[in-house]
Amino acid sequence: MTQVRTAHTAELDTATRMAVRRLLDEVFDDMTDHDWDHALGGVHALVWEGAELIGHASVVQRRLLHGGRALRTGYVESVGVRASRRGRGHGAAMMEALERVVRGAYDLGALGTTDEAKNFYAARGWKLWQGPTSALTPTGIARTAEDDCCIYVLPLTVPLDLSGELTCDWRDGDLW
């Protein structure tokens, strides 16, 4: 029997954190320490099949700049399900749990995705950001053209111009 549990990073014991990292290393061939760091500090949705962790996703707070405002954003990170357990609704169950968090606590939701997952997020009501993306770096705002067409948002409390500019806050590793 599978079960989705949510918990803040502070509530995850060492064994659970280690299980999450092992799962993410298995799911993502190129998982880095920066990617791992990006997944921490927020709410995790964990899918357990008995004592085995088979899925993980998290939402962390970020600030995105749009339309002259700094928007409190629930940014979804490290969504993955063990290959042998895919196609059974586990990803949808994790996203449902995290979308409740995003809707209850943030101005909008956002995430960066792969081509393979775009349809999954679009079917859940996430909208492709159609405008240019940038990052607020230590030296100023820098375009992140390589991330155009990969950023999806879940509009909530503020009006958005999906064709306008969207700028993310600075962090080490992948900016989006």
- pLDDT tens digits for 101-120? 999 999 999 999 999 999 99
Tokens 């791992």 label which residue?
36
Q: Is residue 91 helix, strand or coil? A: helix
| Closest listed residue to residue 43, CA positions, set 77, 71, 91 | 77
| Closest listed residue to residue 47, CA positions, set 77, 26, 16 | 16
Cβ contact 70:58 at 8 Å? no
Confidence label for 135 from pLDDT (cuts 50, 70 and 90): very high
Percent of the chain with pLDDT over 90: 97
The mean of the pLDDT values for the chain is 97
pTM of this structure = 0.96
Q: What is the pLDDT of residues 34-63, one digit of tens each?
A: 999 999 999 999 999 999 999 999 999 999
Got the DSSP string for 102-143?
Answer: HHHH-SEEEEE--GGGHHHHHHTT-EE--S-EEEEETTEEEE
Looking at the domain that runs over 2-168, which CATH code has it been given? 3.40.630.30
- For the residues 19-45, what does the mean pLDDT come to? 97
